């Protein structure tokens, strides 16, 4: 199995739905993400039997039960480690990791980091709802300062992690953002799948019970164009119907928003998005919403050799010209033979 | 250990006649482990049976000359069956004052001390906290003392090779080895060949080391030693003809796992994380890629086991390995492997605990952790190896049970077995019965049930990528047969019963009596690396006419079906263990037998004398 051969098959949305009753709260953003994934899979063209969804623990981690594929609902925070073993055992599988802000950045932050730095070929969908849903509403590592919750009745005081910045800092070669009800989400998923290597997707997800509408400030349909910057490779970073853009403040070395007059974005100094520009990616993931629009879409995409391919290559090289003679191996080293006459070398 | 073919009633060995215990002790930089290892090989070539005990500090480079920086290697070799590394040395080689101070208390009265007096200077004496030079003040009077300036003799011997002082002194261990080879009438040539190979790229170093070796040998041969140094020949032990090699426990485990995977016709995936004393298994396996082995050094213990489970899910034999603290971290994932019923082998090289405990010392205190140490009712088979050679067979057995019953299996070994070496008759692999795995690849008659059962209560193993058998697994309670999520009370009861019955029903061989009769006055019941001292102690006591038998348990869980009846056929049962009584508790619980504990938790193996005393006490 030295060559990875993509297994493709024509399917429809129905082929990716299981007979299991979906058990998220009515109105949960997870429904929209599930539909987006089920709708995208036929377009990607992979075969369900060759697809594996692996999750940890949390609301998002129920996901595998609802996909008519192979699925493994594992333990809290460890999905990346299971995925690593599985992909090393069979690199032909199309592996998707489903995790959340608690699962993937709190208890499992370590594994997320190492999976990304190793660059295992898989898609990591991190559903960020800035709250612990399944344990009934405690604040999470992405909750904003001051979040009141059962465990922080006076408001949380610790600073939140930024998932996309974390991923890029860990060495990610693909970082994207989307949100649950966005029509663009399937395109983000397709781009992630097309990327060979660890593709990290932060998906903002509305927890309607414990953190309702926490992303409304940028995700609300009304006025969305003023607050969302959808990045496209090779296109200027424009928003607000082309009247505003993102430019580099060359003196202070940071990004700034600029007004674009009469569509002349070049004159305004608006940057053209290059998904392979790592320096700009670092600035994009750090762009604070409010002062800036929310950067969405593919922020960074520049592939490198994948972990499982390198492992298989090294294994193959080490096996080159050798035979697996176990009996011979047992006899290796310092041996002696005992005969009736006594031992000899 | 136990490779010699001997009459069960062979007589007690007398010192310096048919069995000798030698301990090499020095600074951790003195090369004592290497000296011991080469002396071991020469013992093997002399046809002796032997057992060894390397005992080294936890520090990587302890400050020179300190008491905690002492590294020792003990070997017991003889012309009849050798079961342990020996209680008390007959000969102690002490390369500095610290080595003398920490090791001389265990030397047999009348035993021989060979000390490098060149190292007994004020500075080293102070570091070893000696007020006066013990070589001169008569404090060693109950032993025989041979003072040699090994440092100077080595410097003289290697002078022609123009080495610096430091490099020249590093040949000291070869000088010492040369003397030891002379003392026991050993052939030097294999060592010379080995040195030439080891220093092939530095012929000067090879020549210097060989010169030191020869000088040490010549010293014994020619020096007029009216004193205690005598040449002593130990006859070969009557071992069965065949091909032999030395084997450590870590090698035994690694080779056994590879053999097990081949017998199961599976590729092996090993996920590990560095930890003493288990790392050696990862090191060995990482060099065996041509045997369809993939090794993965994970970011932590949890990722190590989870990656192995992921690989098993993908159709490989998943294996992970650690020592006590790391095994504790893996506990939750073991539960998942039990819940999802995937094969997995977990090797635990036990060390002194709790917490970090004694990383380089041996203990058997993880039996509770192995049998009971998980949340929920989570039964898991446990096997324990008694010796390096036995570790090979236990590893194969662990793989067999894992794949035939779709279950994680824990294989217990310990720091002593992992590092100790013994002569091993290389087995003929064609005599092992293969147990090739059959994956489910098509929908069977009656439909596909991910949690359907075969006659062993094992569920089918399906590789992701198989068309028509798509299904989901996970840690939430499964519905009988379908494997869907199911929280219903009756279903949980049924699934808990199935998981228990599956493990209880694992076919393990009936318990045999290693030595002595089935039934009688006293059974000494052991497990793991206590085999050697128990076996020898029982042999000696039986030779004295006492009614005592040795029962050694390999299958800790499930226990052999006949064990309860067997134990009840003895008036008394004692259980020597290197813990505070863990197997004892299991035996009491399972059989309501009045098993009495014999415990030792000093980080050192039992001596034969300690077990003998326990037998005498029990039969009073």
* Distance of alpha carbon B496 from alpha carbon B404, whole angstroms: 19
Please report residues of B whose CB lies closer than 8 A to that of A94.
Answer: none
**Residue in B255, B290, B470 nearest the CB of A322:** B290
Question: Could you tell me which of A160, A100, A165 has the C-alpha nearest to residue A127?
Answer: A100
In three-state secondary structure terms, B215 is helix
When scoring A75, A81, A110, A323 by the number of chain B Cβ atoms within 10 A, the one with the most, hence best to mutate, is A81
Predicted local distance difference test score (pLDDT) of residue B8: 35
Closest chain B residue to A19, measured at CA: B484
* Distance of alpha carbon B588 from alpha carbon B153, whole angstroms: 60
Question: The tokens of A142 are what?
Answer: 């992405």
pLDDT > 60? residue A1: no
* Distance of alpha carbon A135 from alpha carbon A151, whole angstroms: 11
Predicted local distance difference test score (pLDDT) of residue B75: 95
**Over the stretch B49-96, which tens digit does the pLDDT of each residue have?**
999 998 887 777 788 899 999 999 999 999 988 989 999 999 999 999
3-state secondary structure B400-412: HHHHHHCCEEEEE
Cβ contact, residue pair B291, A86, below 8 Å: no
Cβ contact, residue pair B300, A110, below 8 Å: yes
Instruction: Please answer whether residues A119 and A88 qualify as being in contact, where contact means their C-beta atoms are separated by less than 8 angstroms.
Output: no
Q: What are phi and psi of A54, to 5 degrees?
A: -125, 130
Question: Could you tell me which of B200, B195, B228 has the C-alpha nearest to residue B212?
Answer: B195
pLDDT > 80? residue B16: no
Predicted local distance difference test score (pLDDT) of residue B56: 80
Q: How confident is the model at residue B118 (pLDDT cuts 50, 70, 90)?
A: very high
* Distance of alpha carbon A210 from alpha carbon A136, whole angstroms: 7
Question: The tokens of B575 are what?
Answer: 């259980």
When scoring B465, B466, B467, B479 by the number of chain A Cβ atoms within 10 A, the one with the most, hence best to mutate, is B465
* Distance of alpha carbon B539 from alpha carbon B532, whole angstroms: 11
* Distance of alpha carbon A67 from alpha carbon A35, whole angstroms: 10
Average pLDDT over residues B233-259: 92
Predicted local distance difference test score (pLDDT) of residue B224: 53
Q: What percent of chain B has pLDDT above 90?
A: 85
**Residue B455 near chain A (CB below 8 Å):** no
Instruction: Please answer whether residues A162 and A155 qualify as being in contact, where contact means their C-beta atoms are separated by less than 8 angstroms.
Output: no
Host H or E run for residue B43: helix B32-45
Predicted local distance difference test score (pLDDT) of residue B13: 34
Strand partners, B93: B24, B114
pLDDT > 80? residue A182: yes
> What is the predicted ipTM?
0.97
**Over the stretch B350-391, which tens digit does the pLDDT of each residue have?**
999 999 999 989 999 999 999 999 999 999 999 999 999 999
Tell me B510's DSSP state: P
* Distance of alpha carbon B587 from alpha carbon A4, whole angstroms: 52
Q: What percent of chain B has pLDDT above 70?
A: 96
Q: How many CB atoms neighbour CB B372 within 10 A?
A: 14
- Mean pLDDT value across chain B: 93
**Over the stretch B437-494, which tens digit does the pLDDT of each residue have?**
999 999 999 999 999 999 999 999 999 999 999 999 999 999 999 999 999 999 999 9
Query: Residue written as tokens 């010379």?
Result: B192
**Residue A107 near chain B (CB below 8 Å):** no
**Residue in A73, A81, A329 nearest the CB of B472:** A73
Host H or E run for residue B394: helix B388-405
Q: What are phi and psi of A117, to 5 degrees?
A: -65, -35
**Residue B329 near chain A (CB below 8 Å):** no
**Residue A134 near chain B (CB below 8 Å):** no
Query: Residue written as tokens 């709708």?
Result: A39
Question: The tokens of A298 are what?
Answer: 């593919």
Q: Could you give the C-alpha distances from B578 to B52, B292, B491, B529, B584, in angstroms and in order?
A: 18, 37, 41, 9, 11
pLDDT > 80? residue A341: no
* Distance of alpha carbon B429 from alpha carbon B259, whole angstroms: 8
In three-state secondary structure terms, A80 is helix
Average pLDDT over residues B317-332: 98
DSSP B245-268: EEEEHHHHHHHHHHHHHHHTT--E
Cβ contact, residue pair B309, A65, below 8 Å: no
**Residue B218 near chain A (CB below 8 Å):** no
Predicted local distance difference test score (pLDDT) of residue B373: 94
Average pLDDT over residues A114-120: 98
Q: What are phi and psi of A146, to 5 degrees?
A: 95, 5
Question: Could you tell me which of B443, B369, B452 has the C-alpha nearest to residue B406?
Answer: B452
* Distance of alpha carbon A67 from alpha carbon A51, whole angstroms: 10
- Mean pLDDT value across chain A: 95
* Distance of alpha carbon B571 from alpha carbon B22, whole angstroms: 39
**Over the stretch A290-334, which tens digit does the pLDDT of each residue have?**
999 999 999 999 999 999 999 999 999 999 999 889 999 999 877
**Residue A48 near chain B (CB below 8 Å):** yes
- C-alpha neighbours within 13 Å on the C-beta side of residue B466: 20
Greatest alpha-carbon span in chain B: 88
Host H or E run for residue B597: strand B595-599
Q: How far is A171 from chain B (nearest CA, A)?
A: 16
**Over the stretch A241-263, which tens digit does the pLDDT of each residue have?**
999 999 999 999 999 999 999 99
Residues 313-332 of A with CB under 8 A from B: 314-315, 318-319, 322-324, 326-327, 329-332
Closest chain A residue to B256, measured at CA: A330
**Residue B292 near chain A (CB below 8 Å):** yes
Question: Could you tell me which of B146, B170, B168 has the C-alpha nearest to residue B157?
Answer: B168
When scoring A19, A70, A80, A108 by the number of chain B Cβ atoms within 10 A, the one with the most, hence best to mutate, is A70
* Distance of alpha carbon A77 from alpha carbon A102, whole angstroms: 8
List all residues 6 or more positions away from B433 whose beta carbon is below 8 Å from its beta carbon. B263
Closest chain A residue to B46, measured at CA: A343
Q: What are phi and psi of B342, to 5 degrees?
A: -115, 145
Question: Could you tell me which of A183, A219, A200 has the C-alpha nearest to residue A98?
Answer: A200
pLDDT > 80? residue B11: no
pTM greater than 0.95 (yes/no): no
List all residues 6 or more positions away from B142 whose beta carbon is below 8 Å from its beta carbon. B109, B110
């Amino acid at each position: 199995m030295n060559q990875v051969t993509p297994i493709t098959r024509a399917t429809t949305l129905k082929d990716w739905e299981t007979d299991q009753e979906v058990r998220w709260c009515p109105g949960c953003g997870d429904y929209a993400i599930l539909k987006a994934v089920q709708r995208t899979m036929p377009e990607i063209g992979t075969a369900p039997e060759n697809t594996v969804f692996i999750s940890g623990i949390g609301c998002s981690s129920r996901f595998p039960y609802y996909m008519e594929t192979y699925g493994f609902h594992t333990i809290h925070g460890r999905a990346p480690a299971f995925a690593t073993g599985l992909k090393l055992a069979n690199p032909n599988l199309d592996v998707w990791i489903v995790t959340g802000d608690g699962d993937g950045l709190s208890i499992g932050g370590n594994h997320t980091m190492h999976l990304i730095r190793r660059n295992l070929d898989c898609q990591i969908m991190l559903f960020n709802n800035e709250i612990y849903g399944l344990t009934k509403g405690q604040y999470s590592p992405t909750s904003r300062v001051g979040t009141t919750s059962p465990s922080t009745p006076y408001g949380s005081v610790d600073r939140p992690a930024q998932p996309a910045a974390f991923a890029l800092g860990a060495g990610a070669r693909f970082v994207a953002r989307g949100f649950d009800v966005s029509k663009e989400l399937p395109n983000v998923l397709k781009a992630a799948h097309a990327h060979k290597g660890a593709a990290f997707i932060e998906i903002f997800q509305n927890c309607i019970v414990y953190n309702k509408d926490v992303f409304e400030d940028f995700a609300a349909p009304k006025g969305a164009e003023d607050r969302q910057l959808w990045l496209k490779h090779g296109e200027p970073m424009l928003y607000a119907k082309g009247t505003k853009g993102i430019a580099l403040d060359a003196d202070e070395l940071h990004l700034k928003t600029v007004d674009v007059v009469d569509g002349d974005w070049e004159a305004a100094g608006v940057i053209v998005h290059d998904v392979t520009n790592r320096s700009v990616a670092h600035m994009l993931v750090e762009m604070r919403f409010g002062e800036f629009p929310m950067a969405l879409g593919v922020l960074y995409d520049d592939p490198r050799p994948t972990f499982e391919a390198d492992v298989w290559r090294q294994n193959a090289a080490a096996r080159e010209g050798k035979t697996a003679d176990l009996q011979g191996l047992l006899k290796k080293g310092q041996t002696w033979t005992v005969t009736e006459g006594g031992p000899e070398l | 250990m136990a490779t010699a073919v001997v009459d069960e009633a062979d007589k007690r060995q007398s010192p310096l006649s048919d069995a000798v215990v030698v301990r090499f002790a020095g600074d951790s930089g003195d090369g004592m482990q290497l000296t011991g290892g080469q002396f071991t090989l020469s013992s093997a070539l002399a046809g002796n049976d032997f057992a060894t005990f390397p005992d080294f500090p936890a520090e990587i480079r302890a400050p020179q000359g300190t008491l905690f920086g002492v590294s020792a290697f003990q070997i017991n070799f003889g012309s009849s069956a050798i079961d342990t590394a020996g209680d008390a040395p007959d000969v102690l080689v002490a390369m500095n004052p610290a080595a003398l101070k920490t090791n001389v208390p265990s030397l047999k009265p009348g035993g021989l001390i060979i000390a490098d007096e060149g190292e007994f200077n004020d500075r080293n004496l102070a570091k070893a906290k000696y007020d006066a030079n013990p070589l001169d003040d008569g404090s060693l009077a109950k032993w025989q003392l041979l003072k040699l300036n090994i440092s100077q003799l080595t410097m003289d011997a290697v002078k022609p090779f123009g080495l610096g002082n430091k490099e020249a002194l590093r040949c000291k261990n070869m000088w010492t080895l040369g003397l030891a080879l002379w003392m026991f009438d050993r052939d030097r040539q294999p060592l010379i060949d080995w040195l030439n190979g080891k220093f092939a790229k530095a012929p000067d170093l090879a020549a210097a080391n060989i010169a030191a070796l020869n000088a040490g040998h010549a010293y014994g041969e020619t020096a007029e030693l009216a004193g205690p140094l005598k040449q002593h020949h130990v006859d070969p032990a009557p071992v069965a003809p065949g091909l032999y090699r030395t084997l450590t426990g870590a090698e035994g485990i690694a080779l056994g796992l590879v053999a097990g995977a081949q017998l199961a016709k599976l590729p092996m995936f090993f996920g590990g994380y560095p930890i003493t004393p288990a790392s050696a298994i990862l090191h060995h396996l990482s060099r065996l890629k041509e045997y369809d082995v993939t090794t993965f050094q994970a970011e932590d213990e949890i990722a190590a086991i989870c990656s192995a489970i992921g690989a098993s899910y993908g159709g490989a034999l998943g294996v992970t390995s650690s020592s006590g603290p790391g095994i504790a971290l893996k506990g939750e994932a073991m539960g998942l492997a039990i819940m999802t019923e995937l094969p997995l082998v977990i090797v635990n090289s036990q060390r002194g605990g709790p917490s970090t405990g004694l990383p380089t010392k041996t203990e058997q205190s993880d039996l509770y952790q192995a049998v009971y140490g998980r949340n929920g009712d989570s039964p898991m088979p446990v096997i324990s190896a008694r010796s390096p050679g036995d570790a090979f067979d236990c590893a194969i057995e662990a793989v067999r049970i894992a794949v035939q019953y779709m279950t994680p299996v824990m294989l217990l070994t310990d720091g002593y077995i992992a590092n100790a070496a013994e002569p091993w008759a290389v087995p003929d692999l064609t005599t092992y019965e293969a147990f090739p795995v059959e994956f489910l690849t098509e929908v069977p008659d009656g439909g596909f049930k991910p949690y359907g059962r075969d006659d062993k209560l094992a569920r089918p193993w399906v590789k992701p990528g198989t068309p028509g058998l798509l299904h989901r697994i996970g840690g939430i309670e499964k519905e009988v047969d379908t494997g869907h999520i199911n929280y219903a009370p009756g279903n949980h009861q049924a699934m808990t019963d199935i998981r228990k019955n599956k493990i209880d029903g694992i076919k393990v061989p009936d318990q045999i009596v290693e030595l002595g009769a089935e039934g009688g006055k006293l059974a000494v019941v052991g497990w793991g690396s206590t085999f050697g001292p128990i076996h020898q102690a029982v042999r000696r006591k039986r030779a004295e006419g006492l009614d005592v038998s040795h029962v050694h348990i390999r299958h800790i869980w499930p226990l052999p079906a006949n064990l309860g009846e067997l134990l009840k056929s003895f008036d008394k049962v004692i259980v020597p263990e290197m813990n505070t009584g863990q197997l004892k508790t299991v035996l009491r619980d399972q059989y309501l037998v009045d098993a009495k504990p014999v415990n030792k938790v000093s980080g050192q193996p039992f001596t034969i004398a300690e077990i003998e005393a326990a037998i005498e006490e029990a039969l009073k």
